[in-house]
Structure 1
Amino acid sequence: MADFLLELLSEEIPARMQEKASADLARLFEAEIAKAGLAAQTVETYATPRRLTLIARGLPAATEAVSEETKGPKSSAPPQALEGFLRKTGLTREQLTERDGILFAVVEKPGRATTEVLAEAIPAIIRAFPWPKSMRWGAASQSTASLRWVRPLQGIVALLGEDVVPFEIDGITSGAATLGHRFHHPGMITIGSAHDYAEKLRACHVILDPAERRGIIEGGARAIAEARGLHVIPDPGLVAENAGLTEWPVPLLGDFDPAFLEVPREVIQLTMRTNQKYFACVDASGKLAPNFICTANIVATDGGAAIVAGNRKVLAARLSDAKFFWEQDLKVPLAEQAKKLDQIVFHEKLGTVADKVERVAKLARWLVEEGVVKGADPGHAEQAARLAKADLVTGMVGEFPELQGVMGGYYARAEGLPHEVADAIRDHYKPVGQSDDVPTAPVTVAVSLADKLDTMAGFFVIDEKPTGSKDPFALRRAMLAFIRMVESNKLRLKWLDLFRQAADQIYTPALAARLSDWGVLGEGLAEVRPPDFPNPDDEYGPDQQAIWSWTVEAKEVDAATFHAPADIAAFLVDRLKVQQREAGIRHDLIDAVFALGGEDDLVRLLARVTALQAFVATEDGANLLAGYKRAANILKKESVTPAQAGVHQEGGAGGAMDPGLRRDDGLGLGFAPEPAESALSAALEVAEAAASSAVAQENFEGAMAALAGLRGPIDAFFDSVTVNDVDPAKRAARLGLLARIRGAVHRVADFSKIEG
């Protein structure tokens, strides 16, 4: 057994590509050598800014001999079939093996030296490497068939044990020599084997393992910050990026003019992070400190003073730009900025951002006035919605799009607008992802909900729904955010009404303008017939023809608006099931609640699901489920539907299949019920009433506790009573009891959907 070392030395590999490149190298290597029957015990990959490395441990010296068998025609097949098979395999008839009347070509392939396999595999891997972006270079780049790599490839180390694996690719010959640190050790290093590779690089100021470099950066930054009484703001992504930019990382602490702290904190942090890859610091009170930590790639003879000074100068220029944008933006009120939104197209079929703002403002006010969002001032909700997108046209957001919303909140506060309005402007995009905070302030909730509802309604109306893996307008994310907001804030709403209200505001801007010219545009699209509209069968001129075509389009949009709420509701159900499964809720329990139908209160629906999950995990739940399924199976076999039994879908009971047994001890039945029948009927009377009362109070745990009391009577009934009695009256009454069991349970969920 021997270890194989592969190093691909190049110009700087972008930090963002290194992790995936390491994974791709391991994947391609294992797949390529597997074609020859080789496998390593372990495969390790590493990346630095200048090299991509793989170490495959425990490779055999050669592949094993293999026997390849190819099935041929029957021995009695026509000569033409046999001749074709012989040509394909290159064998003679005498060399074929016959088994059970079938001819086989058996070819013994001798083992190959691992060195030979690797010499073929590595060039194939290099040429097939899936860089997100790659380039050609040098004279060979004139041909599209030339080698492509992320940056010019400079050298290849390929060692199996201590021996070079010889191959050449586009003039680059494999060997045992590489380069050390670009500044500390720019000369050649001769590698002995995979065993001394990492240590030889370390001696030449190259730390191979990215995890070790990350640890040095994180620990070093923390140490120098704490020495000044500061704390580094945690940023794992920035740590990884700095590790991808350095082979010998050296964290250094610098400072900047405290006057820049007048600029919002997020701007300073983003400027340092995005443009300079610096870490930000806070003081003991948590306030942003006028300091930064940069990561050098060398050990400077002056302790890093010159490096820090240079970085300070560059940062000062960046912060000066940010301060300029901040000061200029403050001179223009948000209401004035908002007037420019009609110059930004939101979507060609949905109009400008100004159009969207108008819709969101109306919807936000409606949410408050209708009591969907409680505790908010409707005027504040509308004002916040009208100003929420205004910062899109500011200089600061133009420079840092990531700060949209955040900057609007700062500008609103600087103007002296109510805090509720400023907070809503700042947070109305939230929650953006699963880890993002969910807004709870009423005005913010109203604006955020309205914004997301308008987006979903708009794209559903114009038939730009998510399909398969494609979701260009992030509607799945918008719906999950909607669900989280409703759930977290316990918003009691009928979602179909909500979607209908949002969809009713959508219309194509061009159509709206034309209809407005005719003076027929109302609040919606219900009435779009222009004045003096001609009969379509009559002859009419160009102007009337245009009016007719626009009216047809209006009707199409109106139809889409009509169908959109139901489509969005179906989309919500689909996303809700996904979200609940990811939260650990069993899919069958979700289906059991949804199967009841008619539930469009998200809070109540999720309460049912949660209570059901807890209940079925108990012994009473399992036993009730077993009893329910036994009853349901008999009813199914006898083709007794809820309608036939007089049992409503939501769980009401009574009717033809239950002729009086539910209210007396047999008088009028024509037979005396058995004790177990009477006991079950009495238990059902109690359970039905208690479950109905609990469901009405949305106490689903209590409803299930009431149903759990049926466990004993159901067991006793099945143990001692024959349901399908020869007496039609007894059979009908007993099937009625089973229908009542099914109906009682269906007050909470459709247990037929529950597995187990």
Structure 2
Amino acid sequence: MAELLLELFSEEIPARMQARAADDLQKLVTGALVEQGLTYESAKAHVTPRRLALCVDGLAVRTADVKEDRRGPRIDAPEQAVQGFLKSAGVTLDQCDVEEDKKGKGAFYVVRINKPGQKTPDVIAAIVPDVVRRFPWPKSMRWGTGSLRWVRPLQSILCMFDGEVVPFDVDGIRSGNTTHGHRFLNPEEITVTAFDDYEQSLRSAHVMLDADERMEVIRNEAGNLAFAKGLELIEDKALLGEVAGLVEWPVVLMGEFHKSFLDVPAEVIVTSIRSHQKCFALTDKSGNLSNNYLLVSNLIARDGGKKITEGNNKVIAARLSDARFFWEQDKKIALEDRLPQLEKITFHARLGTQAERVVRIEALAGEIAKTIGADETQARLAAKLAKTDLVTEMVGEFPELQGLMGSYYAKAEGLDKQVQVAIRDHYKPQGPSDDVPSGKVAQAVALADKIDTLVGFWAIDEKPTGSKDPYALRRAALGVIRTVLEGELRLKLLALTTAALKPIVDALHKDVEGDEGDAVVSGKADSDTAADLLSFFADRLKVYLREGGTRHDLIDAVFALGNQDDLLMIVRRVEALSAFLETDDGQNLLAGVKRASNILKIEEKKDGRSFTGAPETKLLLQGDEKDLNRAVSQSEANAKRAIEAEDFASAMGHIAKLRGPVDQFFDKVTVNADDPTFRENRLKLLNRIREATLAVADFSKIEG
């Protein structure tokens, strides 16, 4: 078995494209090898700013010989069909045999193909140029007079198999056995024969081939430098990965900026040095931002990096001066005075401006605040001001700080702490690992913002489809679900979404004229749209609960009851049902209820009718059926009272008391009695069991 080593050496590859490019190179090359009949033992791709490399180990030195009998059309088939077969097989008619079909279907042309195996280098020489030419870069360029496209100008190709060069040409670039080391520290040409030699030679030439190693070096050096200064590194995995893609030989240095800049909000400083200079922020032991920071150089400087640090300090000082200017200028205009500017920001062509959204969100936040016990005045004010930082200079420069900057400006104006927090947190949660808003006012505003978004896109029928969700509506729905559940909030979503829908649909009607225009939004103001959105919430809740380990059938059993729009109560009911079914009483009652339901289903189908209504007590002759009827009446009444009190555990306990009477009934009573009157009465009794358990869940949906 032999090894393939491939390197595509170019100008600097953008860091954001590197990881995907390495994966694509491995998939394309190994996929093509397997397609040609060459399996392998292992493959690993590597990437640095200037090179894509791939090592495939355990390849055979040639492909296997292929022997195949390919049957064509019947000998009396149309000429066109015969010629098509000959062309696809690459043979002439005199090279074909004629064979009789064993099933008597006639005589057919047969070609016997004996295809000798190919040398693996020949296969590679055909594969690699094709991979290079069709490589799926998100963006690519042409250079010089050639037609080849690559992310940046491709300079050389190293391709070795079993220690020998695999010769081929890609747009004038000849493959060889040489590469280059670090652009500045060791730019000389390097000759290699195999991967181990290649990796070690690059290391000697100041190139760390493995991206994970570069990240680990940066992480360790950064931690050590910070520790030596009595500081702590602010972890930033995304920045670490990006910086590792900018250097081939990382060297971590410490810089500093003037302490006066610390008057600017810490998040602004961190964002500025991160986005503009790719630097890491530091804090002191108390968690306060330090005026020191860390940068990663691609050089081992003779002066220990002094000039590099000085130059970076100057650039960061200029950046922070801009940020401080934005900060001071923005504070001169009150948030409320910025509201008219929101009329210039379009949220969506059919859903109006941010100013129009603010009016809707303010009203909705007030309604939610009353429902969940938040301060309505503060919720309305926070909702009114929540989007105003979108027109500030700071958010214009750093969009990722929206919400946060609004809270800082609210603090500078002396607004209530609840308003500050609500403005800051109203976008939360922005992902599964993000915290939900803290405080009732913040929760009211966050829910109003997300519900308005969802209702709006449902009103114009731009819902998520398949894997497409351009407006992140699934994330918005999950944000509503998490905020409600983690905040233990009681909300009637159907009524809330119906109310939120009205102003949007009214606005849509105003934007269209005549009967044709009315048809565009007809039906969107009725309960169907709100019900459809509620169904979407239900689906997202199911996904959320399943990911948390809840059985899907229990979720279905609760949702099957219908009219379920109080998310917190749904979850509590599911939790109570889950706990109940873990007991012996729960499991045995489930079996009994399922038995009753199955009998009813069979008999209802047989008779073409349902057995509704209360059984007649005078027809209950046996003691066990009388006991069951009394038990059902008592358990059903007690369970309903418990559910009205939202005590689902007690409701399950009352239903559990049916276990004994149900078991006794099936042991001692024949349901399908010879007398049709008694049979019907007993089937009505079984229906009572089914209806009694429907007070807590639809047991027919539960597995087991």
TM-score tier (shorter) = over 0.9
Judge conservation of contact 2:95–2:111 (CA < 8 Å) in 1. no
Alignment deviations for residues 142-179 of structure 1 (CA, whole Å, 9 cap, x no partner): xxxx2111111111111112111111110011110000
Match of 2:688 among 740, 750, 753: 740
Q: CA deviation at 1:637?
A: 1.1
Alignment deviations for residues 311-352 of structure 1 (CA, whole Å, 9 cap, x no partner): 111100000000000000111111112221122222232222
Distance 1:472 1:364 in 2: 25
Q: Structure 2 matches for 1:109-258, cutoff 5 A?
A: 109-140=115-146, 146-258=147-259
Which residue in the other structure is 1:396 paired with? 394
Which residue in the other structure is 2:71 paired with? 71
Sort the Cα spacing of 1:149 and 1:690 in 2 relative to 1 into closer, same or farther, 3 A: same
Distance 1:55 1:96 in 2: 47
Amino acid at match of 2:664: A
Which residue in the other structure is 2:579 paired with? 614
Distance 2:347 2:554 in 1: 40
Match of 1:566 among 531, 542, 548: 531
Amino acid at match of 1:332: I
Greater CA deviation, 358-367 or 466-475?
A: 466-475
Q: CA deviation at 1:292?
A: 0.8
Amino acid at match of 1:560: K
Which residue in the other structure is 2:324 paired with? 323
Alignment deviations for residues 379-436 of structure 1 (CA, whole Å, 9 cap, x no partner): 1111111111111111101111111111010001001111111111111111111111
Which residue in the other structure is 1:444 paired with? 442
Judge conservation of contact 1:159–1:194 (CA < 8 Å) in 2. no
2:1 is the alignment partner of 1:37: no
Sort the Cα spacing of 1:73 and 1:619 in 2 relative to 1 into closer, same or farther, 3 A: farther
Greater CA deviation, 83-92 or 277-286?
A: 83-92
Match of 2:554 among 589, 592, 614: 589
Sort the Cα spacing of 1:85 and 1:509 in 2 relative to 1 into closer, same or farther, 3 A: closer
Sort the Cα spacing of 1:753 and 1:92 in 2 relative to 1 into closer, same or farther, 3 A: farther
Judge conservation of contact 1:344–1:353 (CA < 8 Å) in 2. yes
Work out the number of aligned pairs and report it. 696
Amino acid at match of 2:463: K
Q: CA deviation at 1:479?
A: 1.4
Judge conservation of contact 1:248–1:297 (CA < 8 Å) in 2. yes
SS in 1 for 2:604: coil
SS in 1 for 2:8: strand
Alignment deviations for residues 487-521 of structure 1 (CA, whole Å, 9 cap, x no partner): 1222212111101111122256586599xxxxxxx
Q: CA deviation at 1:566?
A: 2.3
Q: Structure 2 matches for 1:293-304, cutoff 5 A?
A: 293-304=294-305
Q: CA deviation at 1:485?
A: 1.2
Which residue in the other structure is 1:27 paired with? 27
Which residue in the other structure is 2:430 paired with? 432
Which residue in the other structure is 1:529 paired with? none
Amino acid at match of 1:433: G
Distance 1:94 1:351 in 2: 72
Judge conservation of contact 2:226–2:232 (CA < 8 Å) in 1. yes
Amino acid at match of 2:157: I
Judge conservation of contact 2:573–2:648 (CA < 8 Å) in 1. yes
Q: CA RMSD in A?
A: 2.4
SS in 2 for 1:584: coil
Q: CA deviation at 1:41?
A: 0.4
Which residue in the other structure is 1:699 paired with? 647
Sort the Cα spacing of 1:85 and 1:257 in 2 relative to 1 into closer, same or farther, 3 A: closer
Q: CA deviation at 1:684?
A: 2.6
SS in 2 for 1:252: strand
Which residue in the other structure is 2:278 paired with? 277
Distance 1:551 1:364 in 2: 34
SS in 1 for 2:245: helix
Judge conservation of contact 2:178–2:190 (CA < 8 Å) in 1. yes
Q: Structure 2 matches for 1:662-677, cutoff 5 A?
A: 668-669=618-619, 672-673=621-622, 675-677=623-625
Which residue in the other structure is 1:684 paired with? 632
Greater CA deviation, 185-194 or 569-578?
A: 569-578
Greater CA deviation, 114-123 or 717-726?
A: 717-726
SS in 2 for 1:71: strand
Judge conservation of contact 1:642–1:739 (CA < 8 Å) in 2. no
Which residue in the other structure is 1:100 paired with? 102
TM-score using structure 2 length: 0.94
Q: CA deviation at 1:567?
A: 2.7
Q: CA deviation at 1:62?
A: 0.8
Greater CA deviation, 125-134 or 687-696?
A: 687-696
Amino acid at match of 1:162: G
Which residue in the other structure is 2:46 paired with? 46
Amino acid at match of 1:67: K
Which residue in the other structure is 2:59 paired with? 59
Distance 2:691 2:490 in 1: 26
Distance 2:672 2:511 in 1: 70
2:5 is the alignment partner of 1:5: yes
Q: CA deviation at 1:76?
A: 8.2
Q: CA deviation at 1:195?
A: 2.5
Amino acid at match of 2:181: G
Distance 2:508 2:549 in 1: 47
Sort the Cα spacing of 1:566 and 1:392 in 2 relative to 1 into closer, same or farther, 3 A: same
Judge conservation of contact 1:486–1:602 (CA < 8 Å) in 2. yes
2:511 is the alignment partner of 1:500: no
Alignment deviations for residues 634-672 of structure 1 (CA, whole Å, 9 cap, x no partner): 1111118999444xxxxxxxx25x111xxxxxxx32x63
SS in 2 for 1:431: coil
Q: CA deviation at 1:4?
A: 0.8
Alignment deviations for residues 688-740 of structure 1 (CA, whole Å, 9 cap, x no partner): 23322332222223322333333343333223322111112321222122112
Judge conservation of contact 2:505–2:524 (CA < 8 Å) in 1. no
Which residue in the other structure is 1:663 paired with? none
TM-score using structure 1 length: 0.88
Distance 1:580 1:629 in 2: 25
Q: CA deviation at 1:96?
A: 5.0
Q: Which runs of 5+ in 2 are unaligned?
A: none
Q: Structure 2 matches for 1:356-505, cutoff 5 A?
A: 356-368=357-369, 371-374=370-373, 376-505=374-503
Judge conservation of contact 1:279–1:292 (CA < 8 Å) in 2. yes
Distance 2:554 2:468 in 1: 28
Match of 1:718 among 647, 666, 675: 666
Which residue in the other structure is 1:627 paired with? 592
Amino acid at match of 2:279: Y
Sort the Cα spacing of 1:93 and 1:498 in 2 relative to 1 into closer, same or farther, 3 A: same
Distance 2:589 2:506 in 1: 54
Distance 2:399 2:78 in 1: 74
Distance 1:255 1:80 in 2: 80
SS in 1 for 2:23: helix
SS in 2 for 1:506: helix
Greater CA deviation, 700-709 or 113-122?
A: 700-709
2:343 is the alignment partner of 1:342: yes
Q: CA deviation at 1:127?
A: 1.1
SS in 2 for 1:154: strand
Amino acid at match of 1:69: D
Amino acid at match of 1:331: K
Alignment deviations for residues 410-469 of structure 1 (CA, whole Å, 9 cap, x no partner): 001001111111111111111111111111311111111111222222222233333333
Distance 1:510 1:585 in 2: 40
Sort the Cα spacing of 1:631 and 1:96 in 2 relative to 1 into closer, same or farther, 3 A: same
Greater CA deviation, 562-571 or 243-252?
A: 562-571
Amino acid at match of 1:659: E
Which residue in the other structure is 1:604 paired with? 569
Judge conservation of contact 1:135–1:149 (CA < 8 Å) in 2. yes
